[in-house]
Structure 1
Amino acid sequence: MCGYYDPVRIAHSHNIPILWYIHIGYGASTIHSNDYSNLSQILQISESDRIRLPKRFVDNEEENVGEESVEYSEFLPISSSSVLEQIDSTDWLVLRANDGISKPHEVRGGPVDALIAYATQPNGSLLYQEAFLTTYRTFISSTELIDKLIRRYIYMSLSDAQSFVKVARQSFSMLVRVVDELCAVEIIRELVRTITKFINRLIGDGNYTFAKLLRMPSLFEFRSSAIAKQMTYLDAELFQKIEPAEMLWWSMEQNEKKSPNLCSFTEHFNKQLRTMGNYNSYLAILSALDSGPIRRLDWSKNALDMLKDHSSIMDSSHSFKNYRTLLSESLPPCLPYIGLVLQDLTFVHIGNTNYLAPENCNYCKNLINFGKRWQQFAILDSIRRFKSWNYSIEKDDKILYFFQDFKNYLSEDDIWELSETIKPRLRRNK
């Protein structure tokens, strides 16, 4: 996920030490030039390196070790419960000693929980933290990591000792960074449930600042007019690419290869959309609201009245008479409902022969029925006229990010499951 808050501003406004949020923000690297020098030294591994093996071991942890993993004969895995409760996890790690430094700090390996704990030590290496955040997905899922960071934070926050408080803060800082950088595919229901439960706990503890920082950004934070503008921005961008030939071919063959721009467009906030003349997305929103899984839910009278008002415009009876009237009266720029354009072209194609009937033309054959072409032209010419105008809308990446190119959507089965979770079906008595 992308972060849209300013950690420096938030830290100052709440008198929070800025070091707490050293990793919170827009994903920019915190590695400085001297850290890159350290990284170069770390990557220079030789046989003469002095490796310090773990000092502490606990049995009974099951970990999957890859075939190519480095093996240390003295190493024993540890349990996942105790290490997360330690302020310092270096005793569980495999470290490389540095010349002239009494306490080694270059991590060479260790159990997952020890690596997590080391990444959240207050005075730990920023370079290691960056390396951990960049690569953790290769040995632990984001869901598991978030769960462990929450456990570590909760345990450390139970104590008022300054050392524990520092670890708790650093653990929370790491947690926010992980959540902030989640990919769309990682945001599964289980993860959302875990984070929501933790946020509720923070609120219950009166820790509103932390709860706000961890709260996932939502589309509902933006004005409906702003969302409508960005939907129109996307629609208009695709609409301008559609050529009349693509729509003609689609009405005859439904060939995606011949109509790539049309397919992109069709895959792609009622009042604001209507105001902007974006009838394509307008109808898509109304169709979603009128679908079975959503229509069966309990809505307020005001919501139903509003939906009824909008739905009357897109009423399909009398060949969308209300919509066609509104469209003819709309001032440009405007985005027509492409589905209806394709429907009209299909009806013209199916309802009219390609050639004139010989019996009506002195039995002359192979005479092109250009009357059919006039009808097709009348439909397509209206589209060409709409393309003569375009919207003057500035791109807003903060909003467009949430759309995810409309690739992240629920299946029909998932929508029904969610609907029945909100409003369970009534069981019939047998």
Structure 2
Amino acid sequence: MFQRARSTSVATGNSAASNDSSRLPTHDDTDGTKGVSRLRRDTVDGISSAGIPSAPGSSIGDHGTDSASTKQAEEVPWFLQPDSPPEDIMLNPNGQVKGATLAALMERLTMHNAFDSSFNSTFLMTYRSFTTTEILLDLLFARFRIQEPDGLTLDEHEMWIEKKQRPIRFRVFNVLKSWLESHFQEDEDEEHMKRIRAFALDEMAHSPAMNMPANLLLRIIERRSGTGEQMKITMVMPASAPPPILPKNFRKIKFLDIDPLEMARQLTLMDSRLYNRIRPSECLGKAWSRDSGAWKAKGVRDVIGANNRVSGWVSEAILVQEDVKKRAAWVKHFVAIADRCFYLNNFSSMMAIYSGLNNASLNRLRRTWDAVNQRHLQLFENMRAILAPTRNFTKYRETLRKLNPPCVPFLGVYLTDLTFIEDGNTDRLRTDDRLINFSKRQMTAEKIQEIMIYQSTPYNLTPVPGLQKFIEENLIEARSDDELFEQSLRLEPREREDEKIARLLQESGFL
């Protein structure tokens, strides 16, 4: 039975979320032709899915008591207030979520009175670190089925539907759509497609004003499963790719005959292909370092493996050369390739080659390095300065920050940052272990977003299968450091100072 309307005075404050002051179409303007000027649309395939109204004066600060923002009392009907108790969510002074229960996080993900895009992005990027996809879907479906509280008057009933139930349902639709388009993992999430399809068909499609969103979800699911109309993405390059510099004899390719720039181009294409396969979930909880990393973090593992094999190739290829002049020639060629990688913003192969050259077994080969000309020695020193680990790779980070994509960053720096975040922050707040430490997830998401930025711009280069095959055939796992050092000592034994002086004089023709 409907009762007299009631309202409650609640304190609200500014926050990181943006209040959505638009309203959903009423029953009179659900076709979208009326009240359009007052709608803020998140339009997808013609559907206005985020015309979500704000309750007067409501904001993210409704949940928290620790916001430093100026607070003001506003009249908010009791039935439009948050469902989670205030103690279930904690905000930092900027109004961002510091910690919350899973239920409170889900409520914020589908807020009826505001939209926090940064929070939603972080949640979807990191939720696998504190819950499962199955539980996420359970909670989203339950949120869609939100029940009207008892004791509402007829006017309150209409207000609750327009300002709470319908906005929440559109938020659930938006979250499902974002998850399917950007966070779905084919090897893990296939089993959940049937559930979402059944939910869209049997429940969402039969809810008021939700038929078109339901149909859109079904189309996305069909595309995902390969049964529906497939999107064709055509990459338009600003200009034709530069012509490749091909070796004279493809039947018997010799390393020193390959142009350093073309070798760098092919390494860059191979590195970029591997880097672009990294998924956000692989960066959670140091997945790459765990026993399950071979399948849970395959993209990261593949990048690490390729990097190590390039380093191994550099060390082995130089140390098998018996003649000092040949060793010097190989050193110069690898230095030139690394320099061209730098020119192409490929810090992955640049670091791999530098690491191979900077190996202790090669570093001690004074006779070899003395035979390298000054120009290549200077290029090597420039590399050393850029890639130096001092002050947490400050020079490298500055260089990366100033360049324009395309780019293949050195993944090791990001993995180090993610390790510090993971090891230095608890999964739950120390002050209240009921609350998930969402600040930790925010820091993690920021690093993941940095990684993902460089996946969006492709290289405009021409693959040369013959050269890439040559590279693949030469990428090897290096011998142990002890074995490499023994080989190094065999090539250039340790010398006393007087022996070194005598050798230098002899090589100069004086003795």
TM tier, smaller: 0.3 to 0.5
Higher relative contact order (CA 8 A, sep 6+): 2
With the length of structure 2 as denominator, give the TM-score of the two structures.
0.39
User: What is the TM-score normalised by the length of structure 1?
Assistant: 0.46
